[in-house]
Structure 1
Amino acid sequence: MEAVRKAVEFQVIGRVQGVGYRYFAQTHALMLGVKGWVKNLPDGTVVGHAVGTPDQLVSFFHKLLEGPSFSRVDDLREKPLNEQMVYRYGDFSIVR
């Protein structure tokens, strides 16, 4: 039986641009088997979509809260996405 997967939009607030944050997120997503994307926004935040099992997403968000060594995460916001988004992504990419 296939594990249930969820799709979530996330936004990371803090010092998360110019510190390798998107690459950090991509690396850990790929290691955990999380699909989706991540990108910088003009307001200084990082946003993305993440698709995975509940356990994968918990581990991924734990890593996002940790961030790379020169980052500072003040807040991590997440909201569920439409169920059809679960099937949209084949990998985890950085969007420019």
Structure 2
Amino acid sequence: MLDTVEMEIIKKQENNQLYKAIYKLPTQYREVVILRGIMELSSKEASDIVKCSPNKVNVMYHRSLKKLREILKKEGYTYGGNERYTGKSKKSS
């Protein structure tokens, strides 16, 4: 079992990989991911900042997450062993 220090190091490495992938997104997508996903603003709050409708923010957010998954998959990134980022599926027993 990993100790607390090792877990913190792994978490920081994962966060660094995730932030690098976020910065590969197109600017509008990156802004929405930061506002909605990281800062946890509502669609309305984010829409006021990016100057578009809350509905468009929701659409951009979902598209940006899809694009982010593609980037992470391409780079072989795994987050907490979650297969959805690696593109590998578990075989059922």
By relative contact order (CA 8 Å, sep 6+), the higher-ranking structure is 1
In terms of fraction of residues, the more helix-rich structure is: 2
In terms of fraction of residues, the more strand-rich structure is: 1
Look at both structures and tell me which one has the larger radius of gyration over its CA atoms: 2
Range class of TM-score, shorter chain: 0.3 to 0.5
Scaled by the length of structure 2, the TM-score of the pair is 0.35
